[in-house]
């Protein structure tokens, strides 16, 4: 798996669709189209919400993005601009969680905590990859992937359980990613970096 593909943070469902496409679908056009569709649905979502019910447009976002961007998950991502795919997917996921939470009355601190946990997870993946310590395959699968997390929150919104789903998902990912990351760094040590003494001596 290339580094760009690793940073996509695909889950099991996206990987299955990617296997069906056999790596033939170019990732950047599909992801840009998914971002455009997400923007339209997010803009229309809160206004289309029926009284006391979920917003249908918002709940459709994960399926639309999955069907557009998921089949490209197995592509080598070797194009000159394919490095743009992971940050676009991050923007889609974070934006969706923020808008969905706001539209369905999830408290702002809970939304912030979930997105922060995700951002730390993605930062840890990027940093440890640069150090040559890629996350284990089972951890990536257990993290559900961007599509799994979006589908989970959409189903929670459909059932009215979103205020409970956000903290539950944040706690689950925090324990999973944080625990595995801490165990990895403890096992690998600090690496072979150069130690710098910043203390001035007279």
Count of CB atoms situated within 10 Å of the CB of 15: 18
Note the pLDDT tens digit of each residue in 4-32: 999 999 999 999 999 999 888 999 999 99
Sequence-separated (6 or more) residues with CB below 8 Å from residue 192? none
The 10s digit of each residue's pLDDT in 106-152 is 999 999 999 999 999 999 888 888 877 777 888 888 999 999 999 99
* C-alpha Rg value of the chain to the nearest Å: 19
Cα 2 to Cα 48: distance, rounded to the nearest angstrom: 40
- 49 DSSP assignment: P
Q: Is the pLDDT of residue 197 over 50?
A: no
Angle at 60 between CA 113 and CA 3, to 5 degrees: 60
Distance, in Å, from the CA atom of 113 to the CA atom of 117, rounded to the nearest integer, reads 6
Give me 117's structure tokens.
């946990």
| Lookup: tokens for 35 | 């971002």
């Amino acid at each position: 798996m290339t580094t760009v593909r690793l940073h996509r943070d695909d889950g099991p469902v996206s990987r299955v669709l990617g296997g069906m496409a056999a790596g033939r679908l170019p990732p950047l056009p599909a992801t840009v189209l998914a971002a455009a569709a997400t923007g339209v649905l997010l803009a229309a979502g809160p206004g289309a919400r029926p009284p006391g019910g979920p917003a249908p447009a918002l709940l459709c976002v994960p399926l639309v993005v999955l069907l557009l961007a998921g089949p490209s998950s197995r592509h080598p991502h070797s194009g000159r601009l394919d490095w743009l795919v992971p940050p676009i997917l991050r923007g889609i996921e974070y934006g969706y969680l923020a808008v969905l939470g706001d539209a369905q009355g999830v408290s702002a601190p809970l939304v912030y905590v979930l997105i922060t946990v995700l951002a730390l997870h993605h930062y840890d993946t990027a940093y440890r990859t640069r150090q040559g310590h890629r996350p284990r395959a089972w951890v990536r699968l257990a993290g559900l992937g961007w599509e799994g997390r979006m589908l989970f929150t959409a189903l929670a919104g459909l059932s009215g359980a979103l205020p409970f789903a956000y903290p539950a998902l944040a706690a689950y990912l925090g324990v999973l990613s944080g625990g595995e990351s801490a165990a990895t760094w403890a096992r690998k040590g600090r690496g072979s970096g150069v130690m710098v003494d910043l203390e001035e001596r007279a």
